[in-house]
Amino acid sequence: MPEDTILEARAELKYARIAPRKVKIVADLIRGKNVDEALAIVKFTPKASSEIVEKLLKSAIANAENNFGLDRSKLVVSSIYANQGPTLKRIRPAAKGSAVRIRKRTSHITIVLRESN
């Protein structure tokens, strides 16, 4: 393998039953951080998506160590993003015989790790 190639380890979670806007709050906190620091931040963040992001971050770290042989102490969260997945549409009865649509949003979350210099 050439020396100038940059190894990236990634982990993806598709169809997570949480809205992407809730995931993006936690994602912005750990973007660009060392993985140990990112795990500490996610562990003590009282948000709905922090448990999901923590599990996905651990998976990305395991992918980096096992698949690419990267050193955990040098790993950095190079990018993390949450895109919108399909929306589950439900109907709730409302006043005067009408109905209101409830949108249960899903998201696709991706974490990419790189080795820092």
pTM of the model: 0.89
Using DSSP's 3-state secondary structure scheme, residue 88 falls into strand
CA distance linking residue 112 with residue 60, whole number of Å: 7
pLDDT in tens, 19-54: 999 999 999 999 999 999 999 999 999 999 999 999
Q: Are 98 and 90 a contacting pair, CB within 8 Å?
A: no
Q: Are 63 and 10 a contacting pair, CB within 8 Å?
A: yes
- In degrees and rounded to multiples of 5, residue 45 shows phi and psi of -95, 120
**% of the chain surpassing 70 pLDDT:** 97
Structural domains in the chain plus CATH codes:
8-115 (3.90.470.10)
